[in-house]
Amino acid sequence: MKVRKAVFPVAGLGTRFLPATKSTPKEMLPLIDKPLVQYVVEEAVAAGIEQVLFVTGRSKRALEDHFDIAPELESLLYDKGKDKELSQVRQIAEMVNIFYVRQKQALGLGHAILCAKEFVCDEPFAVLLGDDIIDSRIPCLSQLLKVYERHGGTVLALEKVPMENISAYGCVRATPLEDRVYEVLDMVEKPKKSEAPSDLAIIGRYVLTPGIFPILEKQEPGKGGEIQITDAIRTLAHDEPIFGYEFDGVRHDCGDKLGFLKATVDMALKRAEFNGDFLEFLRQRLGPLDNMELKKVNAS
């Protein structure tokens, strides 16, 4: 069955970006000139997704407004003859059919996905996390969907990460099947380095089957007192195969301040309008490198 629907869990409070996220949803923080979540929605649409569900929470009104029509703004842009900007604004509202449901309590990613049960019904579906920005020639979700079309079952996006960072992720024990494709044998949520089964981390792209919902309904809270999707997928593996795909592309963890800064520089340098003057600015700012150590900049 074709994957037509995607779920975006966006109810989190974004506490790592306070105070910016006190009134602005983390997913709406601008990466150059687009909010983070728009990059991920565009990835889903490019992969053939027809319907998107945002699992939201309180204080997410800005996100809903962003993907809605804006009559006053469109009228202003039309009157001023700003055709390019008008087209950009209209495309945001027209790119895909969007639905919303509220996650009334922050009980974890597994619970957020469970909130999508009525939207998904009995179809396979995608889950995309709005703070994982993946720069790739072929959309990351498209890569996962090709694996799903060949093998069926649940497909997890995987990335090799340094072992010293593995405790920040769910990770898998897996056996290779073909180039970049693994059969997942087991998984652990945020293990200690000494207990991690591999350096293959699960990142924010999933293709799930509706068989996950009966498991999530009974799932007990796990790590951090939350309903973990990793635990539920582990249980699902008793009934159907689970696959992992080491995607081809560069992931920017924009849920982290340093990751967000790296993404801003990297994405800016890929755009012709910035890769001249902006690159020169960076060179001037950094100055000559002495033994590969950057000069400390006095922020006062």
Query: What integer pLDDT is reported at residue 288 of this predicted model?
Result: 60
pLDDT of 299 > 80? The answer is no
- Cα separation, 19 vs 11, in Å, equals 17
Domains and CATH numbers, the chain: 5-279 (3.90.550.10)
Confidence grade of residue 290 (pLDDT, cut at 50, 70, 90): very low
Orientation angle between helical segments 36-46 and 140-151, nearest 10 degrees:
40
The 10s digit of each residue's pLDDT in 222-249 is 766 788 898 899 999 999 999 999 999 9
Tens of pLDDT, residue by residue over 52-96, are 999 998 878 899 999 999 899 999 999 999 999 999 999 999 999
Q: Is residue 286 pLDDT above 90, yes or no?
A: no
Give per-residue pLDDT as tens, 104-143.
887 889 999 999 999 999 999 999 998 999 999 999 999 9
In this structure, which long-range contacts are made by residues 272-281, counting pairs with CB atoms below 8 Å and at least 24 apart in sequence?
274/32
Which amino acid does the sequence have at 161?
Answer: V
Report the candidate in 129, 97, 107, 103 with the shortest Cα–Cα distance to residue 116.
103
Does pLDDT of 300 surpass 50? no
